[in-house]
Amino acid sequence: MNRLACLRFGLAFTLMLLGGCVYLPETTTRYNPDCGIYERKAIMQPHQIGTLMGCQDEGCGVLLIAAGAVTVASAVISGSVVVVGNVVYWLEKQGQCLNPPDKAGDADVSPAK
């Protein structure tokens, strides 16, 4: 096999593995006993939406490229949603925590009299 054929095969194989998948944001919740609140965290989960079957010749290439583009687009959009969501959840936790952890510098400072 020449290099171009190897490159095409590698690209097609990679897109085939990615094809039919989308990434969706999901929120998990857990109780934090130190703060006395339920913390939320956004994560990305892959979901398979279909498989490529019954395509021939150039049609397979087009389907693989389209499936790869959908996968990449969903990963970028969902990743943005997860980052923004986790920032909001972190700010929410900071405002609701009943027993915030002591800062390292605060323990050494004695109150003024």
Q: What is the pLDDT of residues 80-92, one digit of tens each?
A: 999 999 999 999 8
Query: Does 112 map to a domain?
Result: no
pLDDT of residue 48: 79
Looking at the 3D structure of the chain, how many domains does it have? 1
List % helix, strand, coil for the chain (3-state, nearest 5): 50, 20, 30
pLDDT of residue 28: 93
Query: Does 63 map to a domain?
Result: yes
Residue 32's domain comprises 12-96
How far is 99 from 101, CA to CA, in rounded Å? Answer: 6
Query: Does 110 map to a domain?
Result: no
Query: Does 6 map to a domain?
Result: no
Query: Does 46 map to a domain?
Result: yes
pLDDT of residue 80: 94
pLDDT of residue 5: 66
Query: Does 78 map to a domain?
Result: yes
Query: Does 102 map to a domain?
Result: no
pLDDT of residue 16: 55
How far is 21 from 48, CA to CA, in rounded Å? Answer: 4
pLDDT of residue 31: 92
Q: Which amino acid is at 39?
A: E
Low-confidence residues of the chain, pLDDT below 50?
106-108
Helical ranges in 19-110 per DSSP H = 58-96
